[in-house]
Structure 1
Amino acid sequence: MDMEVLGQEQSSEQLDLEEISRKISFLDKWREIFSFHRLGTNNTTPQNHEGNHISADENEDGTGIPQPKGQGHLPSSGLCSIPNPSIISSKLGGLPISLAMAMKLRQILFGNTIHVFSYNWKKACFRFHDPSSELAFTLEVGKGGARSIQMAVQGSIIKYLLFTRKGKDCNFGSLCEISKKEQEQALAAALAGILWAAGAAQKATICLVSEDTYIASTADYSVDNFTERLQLFEFLEKEAAEKFIYDHLQCFRGEGSHGVILFLYSLIFSRTFERLQMDLDGTTTQLLQPNAGGFLCRQAVLNMILTGRASPSVFNGCEKGRSQETLHGVLTRSDVGYLRWGKDALEDDRLSQVGSMLKTPKLPIWLCNINGNYSILFCTNRQLLSDWKMERLFDLYFYSGRSSQKKLVHLTIDTHSHHWERDQQEEKHGPRRRFSPVEMAIRTKWSEATINWNGTIPFF
């Protein structure tokens, strides 16, 4: 009888311990969630398996949630899993970022020194699809504001692969056959070329994350455990900048590298704060715009990638605004152009009309903003925009960046068909067929064009 009572007491104690453990686990889970949303107060700085410092935002489980010793990890999920960034040695010789530089950086990006980048921005990098596939030359793009930068860089990658690199034919097949090494060379060349143009062909500045932290939090500056670890490297030759990027490519293309943010930082420092102030006008004082819990790029960022100047508008030259202020548009033709169709929530209708400088670039490649979604149009014929006879009948290729797109869309553009031929073509899918926004974007450049999707269902 005593043994039975003793067994019952032990069973009761075991249940109590299990209940206590369950409640502790439950509290730990909520503590982690609160900490992720900056409500926690954990100041531990764990080390990774190589002994490198891991900040509160980039710890071992990649969630951005500080993990005390002995505490279990939350189940992995795509919502909050950011691996550690690639870290360089602090002895590499770059210039450590200062508090003044970091505050200027935040101010020009967000309009204040408190905001930090959202999850989608931190996750974004420059990662290609599998080599030797039809999309081998294209980047995998995610959601959020970083997508527009990825697609703008995509235009420069195509420029390099089709028209700049030596010893290769400018054809569609050459794009699909590139190897992993050729992908890496294309990315390094594209990033270096953009930064060099932003630096007025005089210098390029490249930002990388070091193992040391150079800035502490203040009342006026909120740390993100990333910006505070930057080192800046200046190059006075484009080739040297390209080699440096190639040697540290993992810092831009690795999962969790914060690669797009690093590139944006590099772009701003290459342009310099002084030039940025001259580029911008009264309509734009910051480069990013808050949107649905994240941030979208203003036009000035895209123009800086396309043209080297952070012009806030897309019309040609300069003109007077409603308040008689001088509004800054695009001054010269760029290598990669820009087309827009649909309402842009960030721009005034009057300022959204794309001028000929961007519509007619030096090379037949266009970054497209279609109802706020970014994509790429390009032609493999370099003479398309320099010989009017080539614009009679030609092919364009369209990359939407959607995860569902497994191959490029091949479009045939006819700009001189008779109206009855055009009507017959456009009514092919029925008398009340809606026009695809892709078609409407193309018609902002070729207004009378007939567009054949060659068997692909038009994108809406």
Structure 2
Amino acid sequence: MDMEVSDPEHSPQELNLEEITRKILFLDKWRELFSYPRLGTKNTTPQNPEGSHVLAVEISDGAGRPQPKGQGHLPSSALCSIPKTSIISSTLGGSPISLAMATKLRQSLFGNTLHVFSYDWKRAYFKFRDPFSDLAFALEVEKGGTQSIQMAVQGSIVQYLLFTGKEDDRSFHSLYELSRLQQERTLAAALAGILWAAGAAQKATVCLVTEETYVAPTPDYSGDGFTERLQLFEFSEKGATEKFICDHLQCFKGEGSHGVILFLYSLIFSRTIKRLREDLDVTTTQLLRPHAGGFLCRQAVLNMILTGRASPHVFNGCDTGTSQETLHGVLARSDIGFLQWGKDTSVGDSLSQVGSMLKTPKFPIWLCDINGNYSILFCTNRQLLSDWKMERLFDLFFYSGQPSQKKPVHLTVNTHSHHWEGNQHEDKYGPGRRFSPMEMAIRTKWREATINWNGTIPFY
């Protein structure tokens, strides 16, 4: 949309504050810079040699320290590409967001209407690794506040690829044989399935960004140039939800699409604000928490993706805390499980202990929280959790989501080994080797199991 910041044919007095704000927010190439408070403009360059618009900006970590860019000395500035946001026509037929809806959405996320998403959230989207590769099934995930959401969606992608269809089990190698088109269809199915479960298998809502602005900033509501342009599309059939997402998949997988934020918005509106508030309790009143200048997801967000319900805790059922208020845990077995291990996890705190509903899901796939880093652990044998004989000796595959990982790590778990076999396994990697955090996470499900890394040096 071609616009100039100043209009030579009109005096400043003729342009009211709302019109000026709208013009600024609609500048396609500059909007991200203006909406991110930690980007300070140093100088501008209209175009680079390839023709894409760039800005020379100084990026700080929230404490005034420049962030590193590449190798060597820390530069005072870095070229930061501002990709164009994927938008749809405002005539597509959705319901425009209102100020009341935007306010409730912001309060549900941040606990107030003044906070906006940090830069790592705005740039995050769903991106697959190369098709027909060792990680064709996998999303590429960077560290930051969106990592947990992307890896939870990764679990649904694995579930769809391995356990959807007539075949009880599919070969692990089938995960390699994905074309770009198959990747896109899989992502659409995974996102639709999550939203449908959040809507209690009755409806799903998909949020997309349009070319029009429906909500103007107020003294009590800080606009971000993105949320104010939402349209909501509601579906009463899972298949229709999947088709709509597939038709507009670029809004979730395109660079600059704000795809992860869009998915989170869709998740909240699918769940509905009313049900969301019923899911939460006194320990959790908003879905995100501030961290190092950005925001991290609380457990309620992950449980909403895994179970369809935004339960704030990982234990089974409900419990009574010290305040005598009812605390909400997981009420039923989820399709995808959850394992947790961390240095700060209190062994004696029953509220932080993952219950059997999440440890023993319907499918042998687990989202893992290991010292605050998220990954996926899965088995290709669907009978692993339904036949005790399968749990004697079995294979697990581990994916961290990080670009540095080139193929899944193959682990072999033995739950009936003798203690001296475990000692020999430890010595293989050097004297005094301790179990890795990943092994400790696995042992929260299978106590005293020995884990063979099959040639990979233990890590994580």
Superposition deviation, residue 260 in structure 1: 0.2
Higher deviation after alignment, 66-75 or 348-357:
66-75
**Of residues 9, 21, 28 in structure 2, which corresponds to 1:54?**
28
Provide structure 1 residue ranges, at least 5 long, that are not aligned to the other structure.
Answer: 1-41
Aligned-partner residue type, residue 163 of structure 1: F
| Distance in structure 1 (CA, Å) of the matches to 2:125 and 2:351 | 31
Aligned-partner residue type, residue 45 of structure 1: K
Checking the alignment, whether the CA contact within 8 Å between 2:398 and 2:410 is kept in structure 1 is yes
Query: Identical aligned pairs, as a percentage?
Result: 73
SS of the counterpart of 1:223?
coil
Is 1:143 matched up with 2:110? no
Aligned to 1:370: 370
Q: 1:149 to 1:435 in 2, by over 3 A?
A: same
Aligned-partner residue type, residue 233 of structure 2: F
SS of the counterpart of 2:81?
coil
| Distance in structure 1 (CA, Å) of the matches to 2:271 and 2:182 | 28
1:290-305 map, 5 Å = 290-305=290-305
Superposition deviation, residue 56 in structure 1: 5.2
SS of the counterpart of 1:74?
strand
SS of the counterpart of 1:183?
helix
Checking the alignment, whether the CA contact within 8 Å between 1:343 and 1:372 is kept in structure 2 is no
Q: 1:156 to 1:452 in 2, by over 3 A?
A: same
Is 1:328 matched up with 2:328? yes
Aligned to 1:397: 397
Checking the alignment, whether the CA contact within 8 Å between 2:279 and 2:311 is kept in structure 1 is yes
Aligned to 2:184: 184
Aligned-partner residue type, residue 55 of structure 2: L
Aligned-partner residue type, residue 74 of structure 1: L
Measured against aligned partners, the alpha-carbon deviations of 1:224-254 in whole angstroms (never above 9, x if no partner) come to 0000000000000000000000000000000
SS of the counterpart of 1:139?
coil
Aligned to 1:309: 309
1:32-181 map, 5 Å = 43=21, 45=23, 54=28, 57-58=31-32, 74-75=55-56, 80-165=80-165, 170-181=170-181
Checking the alignment, whether the CA contact within 8 Å between 1:336 and 1:361 is kept in structure 2 is yes
| Distance in structure 2 (CA, Å) of the matches to 1:249 and 1:211 | 17
Checking the alignment, whether the CA contact within 8 Å between 1:44 and 1:68 is kept in structure 2 is no
Aligned to 2:264: 264
Q: 1:314 to 1:251 in 2, by over 3 A?
A: same
Superposition deviation, residue 66 in structure 1: 9.4
Superposition deviation, residue 85 in structure 1: 1.5
| Distance in structure 2 (CA, Å) of the matches to 1:59 and 1:235 | 35
| Distance in structure 1 (CA, Å) of the matches to 2:317 and 2:21 | 51
| Distance in structure 2 (CA, Å) of the matches to 1:113 and 1:89 | 27
Aligned to 1:341: 341
How well do the aligned residues superpose, as a CA RMSD in angstroms?
2.8
Superposition deviation, residue 421 in structure 1: 1.6
TM-score w.r.t. length of structure 1: 0.85
SS of the counterpart of 1:395?
strand
| Distance in structure 1 (CA, Å) of the matches to 2:29 and 2:99 | 18
Checking the alignment, whether the CA contact within 8 Å between 2:368 and 2:376 is kept in structure 1 is yes
Aligned-partner residue type, residue 54 of structure 1: D
Checking the alignment, whether the CA contact within 8 Å between 1:375 and 1:399 is kept in structure 2 is yes
Aligned to 2:388: 388
SS of the counterpart of 2:334?
coil
Superposition deviation, residue 423 in structure 1: 1.9
Superposition deviation, residue 166 in structure 1: 5.2
Checking the alignment, whether the CA contact within 8 Å between 1:58 and 1:84 is kept in structure 2 is no
Superposition deviation, residue 351 in structure 1: 1.9
| Distance in structure 1 (CA, Å) of the matches to 2:345 and 2:265 | 25
Checking the alignment, whether the CA contact within 8 Å between 1:55 and 1:225 is kept in structure 2 is no
Aligned-partner residue type, residue 440 of structure 1: M
| Distance in structure 2 (CA, Å) of the matches to 1:237 and 1:306 | 20
Measured against aligned partners, the alpha-carbon deviations of 1:54-103 in whole angstroms (never above 9, x if no partner) come to 3852489x998899999785348877434121100000000000000000
Checking the alignment, whether the CA contact within 8 Å between 2:29 and 2:82 is kept in structure 1 is no
Measured against aligned partners, the alpha-carbon deviations of 1:101-125 in whole angstroms (never above 9, x if no partner) come to 0000000000000000000000110
SS of the counterpart of 1:45?
helix
Measured against aligned partners, the alpha-carbon deviations of 1:132-176 in whole angstroms (never above 9, x if no partner) come to 000000001012111100000000000000001457961111001
Which has a greater percent of helix?
A: 1
Aligned to 2:221: 221
Superposition deviation, residue 43 in structure 1: 4.9
| Distance in structure 1 (CA, Å) of the matches to 2:302 and 2:404 | 25
1:176-255 map, 5 Å = 176-255=176-255
Higher deviation after alignment, 187-196 or 340-349:
340-349
| Distance in structure 1 (CA, Å) of the matches to 2:182 and 2:294 | 33
Checking the alignment, whether the CA contact within 8 Å between 2:395 and 2:412 is kept in structure 1 is yes
Q: 1:86 to 1:293 in 2, by over 3 A?
A: same
Q: 1:347 to 1:232 in 2, by over 3 A?
A: farther
Checking the alignment, whether the CA contact within 8 Å between 1:44 and 1:66 is kept in structure 2 is no
Checking the alignment, whether the CA contact within 8 Å between 2:332 and 2:357 is kept in structure 1 is yes
Aligned to 1:7: none
Number of aligned residues: 415
| Distance in structure 1 (CA, Å) of the matches to 2:219 and 2:432 | 60
Aligned to 1:31: none
| Distance in structure 2 (CA, Å) of the matches to 1:152 and 1:421 | 34
Q: 1:346 to 1:429 in 2, by over 3 A?
A: closer
Aligned to 1:39: none
Aligned-partner residue type, residue 443 of structure 2: R
SS of the counterpart of 2:422?
helix
| Distance in structure 1 (CA, Å) of the matches to 2:286 and 2:406 | 36
Provide structure 2 residue ranges, at least 5 long, that are not aligned to the other structure.
Answer: 1-19, 48-53, 58-76
SS of the counterpart of 2:31?
coil
